[in-house]
Structure 1
């Protein structure tokens, strides 16, 4: 299993996921924090969600959490 580390740009995070790599805990935190705080653009959110979907394996575990992020972002 390949592990991506310190990719703290949306492009780096999305590319890592699309490349089949697992994110480090720190990179995952950075991405989720950006989602919850509303700091990501709509395009970045969409790209991240599509990349998670493409990566696949852990999507079921994240589905509820991601739903919460979307709801919080909408206010």
Structure 2
């Protein structure tokens, strides 16, 4: 099967989404970057999944901020 279901998202398998040459060019490009990121997500579906997770976490914080910060001392 050319896709799989993960956490409600249809994700293409690496065989379909992965382009080794493009990935290699991007990794090599980081060799000359000042202060490269510790982690960089590849490919675009990984970026989308991370963005969705961050949006979900932000929504939880917005709903429960008062309870969360009430534990400060």
Same fold (TM over 0.5): no
Higher relative contact order (CA 8 A, sep 6+): 1
TM range, normalised to the smaller chain? under 0.3
* Higher relative helix content: 1
Decide which structure has greater strand share: 2
